[in-house]
Structure 1
Amino acid sequence: MSMKRRAVTCAVSVIIGLMGVKYAGEIRTSPQGLALIGDAESCRRDPYVCPAGKLTAGIGSTTAIDAHHFYSDDEIASMWADDVKTAERCVNQNFNGREMNQNQFDAMTSAAFNMGCLNLIWYTDRTGKRVKTTIWRNAQALQWDAMCRRLNDFVNAGGVKLAGLVKRRGVESRLCLTPED
């Protein structure tokens, strides 16, 4: 008889607070953008296998996860900061992120965090050829509204449309299209 292990959760808001203190000035993503990512990913101290089949812990972290370790708030904040910085570099280097307003940058960072940079830039067409995505082409042309509307294209995982991704992309798209105050 196997016993199902109960998930050991942590508070996204606490991790966002730690990020604001420990990594101030290192991360451009706003607290609102971090909340978008954190709410979509949730926070777990115990490693688990995500829908993409990757060992995951903290707030969507998949790099060097120890399957037998329970992660502290400081460890989760450190892993998440590294992951967010990677997503931000992707947006800045490949999508003209420095030209985006904060809402556009936050939404695109969330998408890059979730999908990985290469999946946001490239797709494989029906003939098997690698092609640049329309969202990438829109960003190159600084067509921000068109770029934001393309976020909703990325709702499949393993060829299957997932309700969680539909919801997340909708939130990202709405934020991306929201003018700054």
Structure 2
Amino acid sequence: MRIGTNGLNLIKQFEGCRLTAYNLGDGKITIGWGHAEPVGQTSLVAGVTTWTQAQADNQLIADLVGYENAVNNYFTRSFNQNQFDALVSFAYNLGGGVFANYNWSKTASDSWICSEMILYVNKGTQFEEGLTRRRNAEIALYKSSDSNNTVGPGTASWTWPFTKAYTGVIYVDGQQFGNTSYPRGRGYFHDGFDFDSSVYGPDILAVSDGEVIYTGVMGDGLGSVIVLSIPPYQVMYQEFSQSMSDIFVSVGQKVTKGQRIGQLNGGTHLHLGITKKDWRTALASWDIDDGSWLNPIEILQSGGESPQPNMEELKDMLKLFKINTGYKSLQVVNTETLKYFAMNAEESARMRKFLYDKEPLFEPAEFQNVLDIIKHVL
């Protein structure tokens, strides 16, 4: 497992970030989000060495790997994301060897862990009050339900691909999903959403529990690519780097919501695409709106539900929509039919193509099946 948003935020809250190195008299020089190196064994100079915010953020992520491994490798029992995050914060504060040094049980119960954590507060020192607050916060996180990095009400199983939630702002026309003013290939369609590196990152997170089905660096502008299978979807992360070193997962690995799977490095954005098809098949439709690619923002906001087209637009389209049998036409304006097409993103996309591009909506072999569907909902 890797630390989630709640754990990362808790660590940042209590560590604080100082961009100039300092000495607390504990034999270490500290800088950034609590990054410490022994006096005499470091190039850090208290009061002299300065970092940028990006340096501090990147160092924290690098440092946390060791503490994540400390939890992953020590315990033989499983934890949910919030429990794991609390233990990583605890280890980050006390050292990765804390569990072995104090002979914690590898199968310790939840109640024992919480009762034990509160004991580590350096009683009688100037640090006791602050450490007590931190232990209480870690225990509260450990006991809380696993809703790490929730997108909205009722959507605990999905999250945003970064620790920073979607701002709702389109910074550059062309980064949004759908038809844009920016020309691409055969038209102006954009098959995903581009999360700008100046706003989001660097950590890239799994948007839900799933399995890694592809990692690699691809040509044709795709760059570093991670594909997750999150049934019924395949979620494609691309263009965030040009190096395998920025991919932290491997094919066949199970991932959990909010787990760090890569980092945005050197690119201008992360492109996130979501499809119900095999992702390689869907790539053939990267520049046309044929229903292969779904709006990732709407799916994340709705907790994994398929996006629904605008109902007023759909009603206007359906008033014009006719299925021609060769003998007569059936006008489709029934409310239940509207509901069916509204909930079926792929059919809605094909309707738009039929109405606006004047291409056949259904192949002959599909025709009877479509009639059966409409008869069912009428």
Shift of the 52–152 alpha-carbon distance from structure 1 to 2, 3 Å rule, reads farther
**Separation (CA, whole Å) in 2 of partners of 1:144 and 1:52:** 32
**Separation (CA, whole Å) in 2 of partners of 1:58 and 1:120:** 25
Listed as ranges, the matches of 1:22-61 within 5 Å are 28-50=2-24, 52-61=26-35
Moved more, 54-63 or 141-150: 141-150
User: Counting helix residues as a fraction of each chain, which structure ranks higher?
Assistant: 1
**Separation (CA, whole Å) in 2 of partners of 1:176 and 1:28:** 15
Where does structure 1 differ by over 3 angstroms across 4 or more consecutive aligned residues?
50-53
2:19 match: secondary structure: strand
**Separation (CA, whole Å) in 1 of partners of 2:26 and 2:91:** 15
Partner of 2:139: 173
Q: Answer whether contact 1:47 1:65 (CA < 8 A) is retained.
A: no
**Separation (CA, whole Å) in 1 of partners of 2:30 and 2:43:** 7
Partner of 2:325: none
Listed as ranges, the matches of 1:135-154 within 5 Å are 136-137=104-105, 140-154=106-120
**Separation (CA, whole Å) in 1 of partners of 2:75 and 2:138:** 15
Partner of 2:92: 113
**Separation (CA, whole Å) in 1 of partners of 2:43 and 2:16:** 16
1:95 matched to 2:98? The reply is no
After superposition, the C-alpha distances for 1:89-142 in whole angstroms (9 at most, x for unaligned) are 101111347x1101110000001101102234314xxxxxxxx1xxx21xx124
Partner of 2:168: none
The one-letter code sitting in structure 1 at the alignment partner of 2:119 is: D
**Separation (CA, whole Å) in 2 of partners of 1:65 and 1:92:** 31
**Separation (CA, whole Å) in 2 of partners of 1:148 and 1:73:** 33
Q: CA RMSD in A?
A: 2.1
The one-letter code sitting in structure 2 at the alignment partner of 1:72 is: T
The one-letter code sitting in structure 1 at the alignment partner of 2:22 is: Y
Shift of the 76–119 alpha-carbon distance from structure 1 to 2, 3 Å rule, reads same
Highest relative contact order (Cα 8 Å, sep 6+), 1 or 2? 1
Shift of 1:53: 3.9
**Please, what TM-score do these two structures have when normalized by structure 1?**
0.69
User: Counting strand residues as a fraction of each chain, which structure ranks higher?
Assistant: 2
Shift of the 78–176 alpha-carbon distance from structure 1 to 2, 3 Å rule, reads same
**Separation (CA, whole Å) in 1 of partners of 2:71 and 2:22:** 27
Structure 2 unaligned regions, length at least 5: 148-378
**Please, what TM-score do these two structures have when normalized by structure 2?**
0.35
**Separation (CA, whole Å) in 1 of partners of 2:109 and 2:94:** 21
Shift of 1:43: 0.3
**Separation (CA, whole Å) in 1 of partners of 2:134 and 2:26:** 16
**Separation (CA, whole Å) in 2 of partners of 1:52 and 1:163:** 18
